[in-house]
């Protein structure tokens, strides 16, 4: 019985020792184990939690538009243009990824994005009927495309603009300038021209800055991204855009198609990291730089933003984006991917751009808190906690002597609108992220603690079986070694 108890103790000690060794191994490999499990959960595999939330995001999305009203258009070009910001005109956005095709052999997934927008009057500062005066975008585009044409072509265009009643400015309701669009005789005429004369621009019957983008699957184009199901790969990293592996509008490193498309970001970010993203609206890859750190409800984050260097035309990194006019810092020329229209992108209110731009157009008040473009990301998990995607659309103009409408205009960037897409993570998801981060931070320590407890059990078990084990009974030494008396001796010596 006593031997059976000892064997049980030895067995218990052995099992505890095995568990202790396993706990030590888990503790030492915890980071690798955690990364493997997290990668499997984030992979864009159909049916996974990550895929379901990606396919139809449950996070409320808002799209805010600010329009610039040109207050002294009647006195241009004698007076410096002055603009006043109107808005925001706030829209609820519904987004779904559709026409999804999974390509397991290339670990990729292709899709289009459906977007719909509905006006939210309660969140807006203004109505869709607000009258807005702005630079005439149709006339500006026609003149810009003809800037390098010969004398006869430019004179012919100038007469055509006069014949169709084109003016320097247009005044329209806000709804027409945004999604609804407005009629224009020049557009009807443009439909009769060959593609070579219009730069391949689609034939449209109305003009609006976001015309045909509502209830559409074409605004973002055709995307192919990584699934992230293979070891070491991240999901949601751009591979192809509109079947192109490089951007056809630029050359060199500016043609690079790389980075996240916004939903899945790299993990283990540091202040020296760059957040690389592809923005379809900007037709380019952006490299966001670290700008600071903070805390949101117990979660640490790093913030990466679009600073002056990202749009700095004077740097070698951005030189290949110029495509002609690159006179100011903090400005990006996107006319190449806008069918040759004079479209130039800056941060709102010319934030981080050359001071000269705010002298050529007055009424702008840049503010880092209101106008910066940033991603605040939990660095270990790569989860965005707060996102503010903001940029401003401007029209480039310059004097064109052979076209009367632009004969005496100054060379400037005219701001027409800026947009903001703000996403802040909700409290429920924050609570989940705090739990996941706690598992990452404390998992190794917990495993080490378990190993110590089990090691103590091993020590106690061994001590119980060896150190505290009672010896078997032995007679006293004097009795053990005394020679027994024979019968004759006992008779002679009875005592």
Mind listing the pLDDT tens digit for each residue in 293-302?
A: 998 888 889 9
Closest C-alpha to 331, from 317, 352, 316? 352
Question: Is the domain of 348 the same as that of 444?
Answer: no
pLDDT at 429: 72
**Rounded mean pLDDT, 421-425:** 85
pLDDT at 262: 85
Residue where a domain terminates, one of 383, 401, 425 = 425
CA dist 159 to 60, 156, 380, Å? 49, 5, 62
Work out the pLDDT band at 215, boundaries 50, 70, 90. Answer: very high
Asked whether residue 435 is assigned to any structural domain, the reply reads: no
Work out the pLDDT band at 28, boundaries 50, 70, 90. Answer: very low
pLDDT at 198: 62
Question: Is the domain of 421 the same as that of 452?
Answer: no
**Rounded mean pLDDT, 153-161:** 91
pLDDT at 435: 63
pLDDT at 249: 85
Asked whether residue 381 is assigned to any structural domain, the reply reads: yes
pLDDT tops 70 at residue 43: yes
Own/partner pairs for 118-125, CB < 8 Å, 24+ apart? Answer: 118/91, 118/92, 118/94, 119/89, 119/90, 119/91, 120/62, 120/90, 120/91, 120/92, 123/62, 123/88, 123/90, 124/87, 124/88, 124/89, 124/90, 125/86, 125/87, 125/88
Phi and psi (nearest 5°) for 224? Answer: -130, 125
Closest C-alpha to 285, from 331, 236, 318? 318
Where is pLDDT greater, at 350 or 43?
Answer: 350
**Rounded mean pLDDT, 68-92:** 97
Question: Is the domain of 384 the same as that of 485?
Answer: no
pLDDT tops 70 at residue 466: no
CA distance 7 to 4: 5
The domain total for the chain is 2
21: exposed, middle or buried (C-beta count within 10 Å: 0-12, 13-18, 19+)?
Answer: middle
Instruction: Give the rounded percent of residues in the chain with a pLDDT score beyond 70.
Output: 75
pLDDT tops 60 at residue 494: no
Summarised one tens digit per residue, pLDDT across range 384-421 is 899 999 999 999 999 999 999 999 999 999 999 999 99
What's the chain's average pLDDT? 82
Contacts of 459 (CB under 8 A, 6+ apart): none
pLDDT at 57: 84
Highest mean pLDDT among 75-79, 434-438, 444-448: 75-79
Is-contact 406 143, C-beta < 8 A?
yes
Asked whether residue 86 is assigned to any structural domain, the reply reads: yes
Instruction: Give the rounded percent of residues in the chain with a pLDDT score beyond 90.
Output: 48
Is-contact 276 287, C-beta < 8 A?
yes
Highest mean pLDDT among 58-62, 205-209, 423-427, 446-450: 205-209
Helices (H), 269-313: none
Asked whether residue 53 is assigned to any structural domain, the reply reads: no
Question: Is the domain of 417 the same as that of 444?
Answer: no
Is-contact 132 87, C-beta < 8 A?
no
Question: Is the domain of 449 the same as that of 415?
Answer: no
Asked whether residue 433 is assigned to any structural domain, the reply reads: no
Identify the weakest region by mean pLDDT among 61-65, 257-261, 295-299, 344-348. 295-299
Q: Give the angle 107-111-112 at the CA atoms, nearest 5°.
A: 160
Q: Dump strand ranges (E) for 151-252.
A: 169-173, 223-226, 238-241
CA distance 342 to 138: 10
Identify the weakest region by mean pLDDT among 31-45, 202-216, 218-232, 233-247. 31-45
Question: Is the domain of 259 the same as that of 184?
Answer: yes
Terminal alpha carbon distance of the chain: 44
Work out the pLDDT band at 32, boundaries 50, 70, 90. Answer: low
Closest C-alpha to 375, from 421, 318, 315, 435? 421
**Residue span of the structural domain in which 240 resides:** 60-425
Work out the pLDDT band at 30, boundaries 50, 70, 90. Answer: very low
Question: Is the domain of 301 the same as that of 337?
Answer: yes
Phi and psi (nearest 5°) for 463? Answer: -65, -40
Tell how strand 83-103 and strand 108-119 pair up. Answer: antiparallel
Question: Is the domain of 390 the same as that of 449?
Answer: no
CA distance 102 to 107: 8
Question: Is the domain of 339 the same as that of 471?
Answer: no
Question: Is the domain of 338 the same as that of 480?
Answer: no
400: left (phi over 0), alpha (psi -120 to 50) or beta: beta
CA dihedral sign of residues 177, 183, 185, 191? positive
pLDDT at 9: 59
Q: In angstroms, how far apart are the furthest CA atoms of the chain?
A: 159
**Rounded mean pLDDT, 222-248:** 89
Q: Dump strand ranges (E) for 125-242.
A: 131-135, 169-173, 223-226, 238-241
pLDDT at 442: 45
**Rounded mean pLDDT, 49-64:** 87
Identify the weakest region by mean pLDDT among 226-240, 305-319, 363-377. 305-319
CA dist 69 to 22, 74, 359, 362, 420, Å? 69, 13, 17, 12, 18
CA dihedral 453, 454, 456, 458 (to 10 degrees): 170
Question: Is the domain of 420 the same as that of 446?
Answer: no
Closest C-alpha to 107, from 255, 210, 18, 234? 234
CA dist 217 to 114, 120, 227, 326, Å? 4, 22, 21, 32
pLDDT at 461: 64
Asked whether residue 39 is assigned to any structural domain, the reply reads: no
**Rounded mean pLDDT, 213-220:** 92
Asked whether residue 113 is assigned to any structural domain, the reply reads: yes
Question: Is the domain of 420 the same as that of 484?
Answer: no
Asked whether residue 214 is assigned to any structural domain, the reply reads: yes
């Amino acid at each position: 019985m006593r031997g059976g108890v000892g064997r049980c103790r030895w067995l218990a000690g052995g099992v505890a020792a095995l568990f202790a060794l396993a706990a030590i191994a888990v503790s030492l490999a915890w980071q690798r184990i955690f990364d493997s499990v997290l990668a499997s959960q984030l992979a864009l595999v159909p049916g996974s939690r990550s895929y379901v939330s990606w396919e139809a995001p449950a996070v409320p999305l808002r799209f805010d538009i600010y329009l610039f009203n040109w207050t002294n258009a009647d006195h241009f070009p004698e007076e410096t243009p002055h603009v006043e910001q109107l808005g925001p005109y706030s829209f609820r956005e519904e987004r779904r990824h559709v026409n999804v095709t999974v390509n397991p052999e290339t670990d990729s997934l292709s899709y289009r994005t459906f977007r719909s927008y509905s006006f939210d009057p309660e969140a807006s500062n203004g109505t869709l009927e607000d009258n807005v005066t702005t630079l005439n975008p149709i006339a500006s585009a026609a003149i810009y495309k003809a800037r390098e044409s010969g004398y006869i072509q430019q004179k012919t265009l100038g007469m055509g603009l006069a014949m169709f009643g084109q003016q320097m400015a247009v005044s329209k309701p806000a709804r027409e300038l945004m999604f609804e669009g407005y009629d224009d005789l020049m557009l009807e005429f443009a439909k009769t021209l060959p593609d070579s004369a219009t730069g391949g621009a689609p034939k449209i019957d109305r003009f609006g800055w976001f015309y045909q983008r509502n209830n559409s699957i074409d605004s973002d184009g055709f995307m192919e991204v990584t699934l992230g199901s293979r070891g070491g790969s991240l999901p949601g990293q751009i591979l192809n855009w509109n079947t192109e592996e490089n951007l056809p509008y630029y050359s060199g490193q500016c043609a690079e198609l790389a980075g996240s498309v916004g939903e899945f970001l790299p993990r283990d970010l540091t202040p020296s990291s760059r957040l690389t993203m592809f923005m379809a609206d900007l037709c380019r890859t952006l490299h966001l730089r670290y700008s600071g750190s903070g805390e949101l409800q117990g979660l640490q984050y790093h913030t990466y933003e679009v600073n002056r260097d990202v749009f700095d035309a004077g740097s070698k990194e951005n030189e290949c984006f110029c495509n002609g006019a690159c006179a100011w810092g903090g400005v990006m020329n996107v006319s190449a991917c806008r069918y040759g229209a004079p479209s130039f992108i800056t941060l709102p209110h010319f934030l981080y751009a050359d001071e000269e731009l705010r002298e050529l157009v007055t009424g702008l008040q840049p503010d880092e808190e209101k106008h910066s473009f940033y991603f605040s990301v939990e660095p270990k998990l790569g989860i965005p906690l707060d996102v503010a995607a903001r940029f401003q659309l401007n029209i480039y103009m310059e004097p064109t002597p052979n076209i009367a409408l632009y004969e005496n205009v100054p060379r400037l960037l005219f701001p027409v609108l800026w947009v903001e897409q703000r996403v802040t993570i909700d409290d429920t998801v924050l609570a989940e992220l705090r739990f996941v981060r706690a598992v990452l931070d404390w998992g190794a320590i917990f495993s080490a603690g378990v190993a110590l407890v089990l090691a103590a059990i091993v020590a106690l078990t061994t001590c119980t079986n060896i150190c505290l084990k009672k010896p078997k009974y032995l007679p006293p030494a004097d009795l053990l070694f005394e020679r027994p008396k024979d019968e004759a001796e006992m008779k002679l010596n009875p005592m």
